[in-house]
Amino acid sequence: MTTLPTHAAPAEVTVIDTHARWPLLILLTAAIKWLILSGMLALISAIQLHSPAFLSDCAWLTHGRMAALSETAFVYGWAANAGLAIALWILGRLGGHPLRALNWVVVGTIFWNLGIAAGMVGIATGDMTSFALLQLPRYVQPLLVFAYAAIAISGVLAWSGRRRAVAYASQWYAVAALFLFPWLITAAQSVLLWTPVRGVVQAIGAGWYAQGVLALWLFPLALAAAYYVIPKVTGRALPSYEAAPLGFWTLIVVGTWTGGRQLVGGPVPAWIPTIAVVGGALLLFHFVICAINLQPVFTGRGTALRFFRFGLVAYVLAGVLALLTSFRGVALHTQFTFVDAALNQVSLYGAVSMMFFGAITYLVPRLTGRAWASPALLAGHAALVKLGVLISVGALVVAGLTQGGLLLDAKVTFPEIFDQVSVALLINTAAQFVLLGANLLLLVNFARTACVCGEPVPAAAPDLFRQPATVEAPAS
């Protein structure tokens, strides 16, 4: 059975890629630079955990602000820019037309990054909002919404003007992420910043937003990348793809109901952590479907799939752990400890970032028309970042469980807890070093690949990209 369309199969790199080259490269450059910066800030923050006196003289670098800075740089700097670049690229290719409104993308990118930079300076000088994942000062937040919308328009247009009427999973996820984030952040801003609600409802709203950032923004971007690259590289249709729509809608509908899971036992009515547990349980269905759909990643080869393997395992693990730590019996031992930090690391670094790395590995050669400058650096980055994530998650889990056990014993003082977890926190610092080093390798590799001065960038390198064979749908 042949599924060849009536026109000739397009080459692997087409005008769609060359047309979008510079805007997307700007986004990716910004992303990787923010990744390095957030790595440095995370390193300082990790050192301050076991050595509180480190850089404490400087008001800009005090630990509370450093934690906010590193988190902001990671999510709004690296993850946002990389995710947007990947989403736009995928939507362009699957839409079948060159991306439109790319000028807006460039304008949006510039203002987004300026806004984040201004916001970081604002946090450092004391304007942070104290809401997790929404620490950027009030005055930059409206700018971010408009900048994001400017970038997202191109993607939504690429989807609405697509060639084929039926959209693919990557397109659903990418459009969801592009479309929903402005609403998400505006809703959060309105109840937290512009017309703040009373008392603990702020904490509930902040928890809802933090979960929304993951479930409605970053996870869809990562999944868009996974659903695109994995079948492209393995050459197999995704198994049980007919379940994918249900998996998608489960994430979108149920995802943010789990926002109250950190408020277990807290000063909020009991129904809020309870629906967080119920939401987390329903969300398991989404993770199972993703695991089933994306399992070909384990049989494929190539550098990109290495990242996606790690990312998929981390993704499913993140979902399971989020549910587990929502249960009150488990929360008794893990709440307020480093286990939450470990879970953050698994979700943001292990799942989202690794999938982004995989997508970037696949994307950049096609965008620039050149192979990666150094396969060794590529392999080095992959190995080191996996090592770093594993060590940091392991160390934080050990620290968290130790801390949790000691917190339950009323006779143990906080200096004693500090002594007991110091070693694990030192190991976490070492892991942050490794991650920073890995990302520096990526920066060097990327710079050498994308920004080779003086050499003209080829319009398309037909000898670099083999023409793929036609794949048949699996028997129904």
In the region spanning residues 420 to 459, those forming contacts with another protein, defined by CB under 8 A, are none
Least distance from another protein to the Cβ atom of residue 375, Å:
4
Which range in 36-44, 99-107, 141-149, 327-335 contacts another protein by CB under 8 A? Answer: 327-335
> If we measure between CA atoms, which residue out of 285, 286, 307, 309 comes closest to residue 296?
309
Decide if residue 362 touches another protein (CB under 8 A).
yes
Binding residue for another protein, selected from 374, 380, 437, 460, defined by CB under 8 A:
374
Is 59 a binding residue for another protein by CB under 8 A? The answer is yes
> 85 with 28: CB under 8 angstroms?
yes
Could you say whether residue 130 binds another protein (CB under 8 A)?
yes
462 belongs to the binding site for another protein (CB under 8 A): no
Instruction: Extract the tokens encoding 244.
Output: 């994918």
Residue 200 lies near another protein (rule: CB under 8 A) = yes
Contacting residue, 72, 113, 234, 428, with another protein by CB under 8 A? 234
* Residues between 14 and 43 with contacts to another protein, criterion CB under 8 A: none
Q: Which is nearer to another protein, 114 or 201 (CB)?
A: 201
Q: Give the CA distances from residue 32 to residues 81, 84, 112, 349, 353, in Å, rounded to whole numbers and listed in that order.
A: 9, 13, 15, 14, 11
Cα-based angle 171, 176, 178 (whole degrees, multiple of 5): 95
Residue 92: CB minimum distance to another protein, A: 10
Sign, CA torsion 365/351/95/466 = positive
> Is 407 among the residues that bind another protein (CB under 8 A)?
yes
Nearer to another protein, 94 or 435 (CB): 94
Cβ distance to another protein smaller for residue 411 or 454: 411
d(CA 181, CA 177): 6
| CB nearer to another protein: pick between 111 and 339 | 339
Q: Which of residues 82-121 bind another protein (CB under 8 A)?
A: 93-94, 96
Check binding of 401 to another protein (CB under 8 A).
Answer: no
Single residue of 252, 291, 320, 423 touching another protein by CB under 8 A: 252
Exposure b/e, 296-328, CB count within 10 A at least 16 = b: bbeebeebbbbbbbbbbbbbbbbbbbbbbbbbe
Within 13 A of 181's CA, how many CA atoms are on the CB side?
Answer: 31
Counted residue by residue, the chain has a size of 476
The single residue listed with the structure tokens 């249900």 is: 246
Q: Which of 87, 378, 397, 424 binds another protein (CB under 8 A)?
A: 378
**Using rule CB under 8 A, residue 347 touches another protein:** no
- CB of 382 closer than 8 Å to CB of 439: no
**H helix runs in 51-100, sequence order:** 63-72, 80-95
Contact predicate 74/348, CB 8 Å: yes
* Residue of 36, 117, 282, 320 interacting with another protein (CB under 8 A): 282
Of 102, 151, 304, 440, the one binding another protein by CB under 8 A? 304
Binding test (CB under 8 A) with another protein, winner from 176, 185, 385, 450: 176
Q: From the list 21, 22, 145, 336, which residue makes contact with another protein (rule: CB under 8 A)?
A: 336
Size of the site for another protein (CB under 8 A): 146
**Residue 134 exposed, middle or buried by CB count within 10 Å (0-12, 13-18, 19+):** buried
